[in-house]
Amino acid sequence: MCGAHWYDTIGATYSVTRRTEPRIAARIWAALGDARTVVNVGAGTGSYEPPDRDVAAVEPSAVMRALRPVGAAPCVAATAERLPFADQSFDSAMAISTVHHWQDPIAGLREMRRVARRVVAFTFDPSDAGWRNRFWLTRDYLPEVADLLVGRPSLTEQASAIGARIEPVLIPWDCADGFFEAYWRRPEAYLDDHVRRGISVWASVGREAEQRAVRSLRDDLVSGRWAARNSHLVALEAAELGLRLLVT
């Protein structure tokens, strides 16, 4: 699951399904506080970059840098683990849906702390089996996700490395950003190739696991088994699937 090389391989269609979810953006922008200058680490195509502040972006994948829209914040080729900035160059540093890709998350978070007075990261706890057991996709179709997370530092370890607090972020049922958990109430979406290509997990588990999971989900949607098992989700507007903000 690590590294920018994934995005040089799978990134080309990222913007088809990945974009700013306004309710999550509001949480991130509030957490940035009164920062005037912000560095966005693992910036990708620039989703969640606040439009009203002075932003610098850092992104190691050439494919992702090329997808940044015209007029997006300037972007340098670098990794979180070695940020090419002097100490305390920015008011805030942000990292969205990227920490789990870093080779060394603790080193990357410490780098963010070094270059900025405040750190905001949107991520999840790789060591917590709770959300994987609650989320039907990992529980019933793609248990291989657990193997991808073995050996990764826990969220508590990540938070204590930079003195951050941890805040839960619920995922709205109609989440606009097509990340892995986004379609928890729209299971048919995972049958769509475009949706899966925007989520690195599917490439990471390998073609065989992907095809088996999709086949099995399709069968259960047709037979009504998915609906019978997950009927409680229909009444939920937002779900707690382990996503978190780290905020210093």
**Interaction between residue 96 and ligand SAM (CB under 6 A):** yes
Min separation Cβ 46 and ligand SAM, Å = 7
**Interaction between residue 180 and ligand SAM (CB under 6 A):** no
Show contacts with ligand SAM in window 14-33 (CB under 6 A): 18
**Interaction between residue 64 and ligand SAM (CB under 6 A):** yes
x-marked contacts with ligand SAM along 103-122 as a string, rule CB under 6 A: x-------------------
**Interaction between residue 243 and ligand SAM (CB under 6 A):** no
Q: Residue 83 or residue 217: which is nearer to ligand SAM going by CB?
A: 83
**Interaction between residue 44 and ligand SAM (CB under 6 A):** yes
**Interaction between residue 126 and ligand SAM (CB under 6 A):** no
Min separation Cβ 229 and ligand SAM, Å = 29
Distance from C-alpha of 91 to C-alpha of 116, rounded to nearest angstrom: 5
Residues that bind ligand SAM (CB under 6 A): 3-4, 7, 18, 41-45, 47-48, 59-61, 64, 79-81, 96-98, 101-103
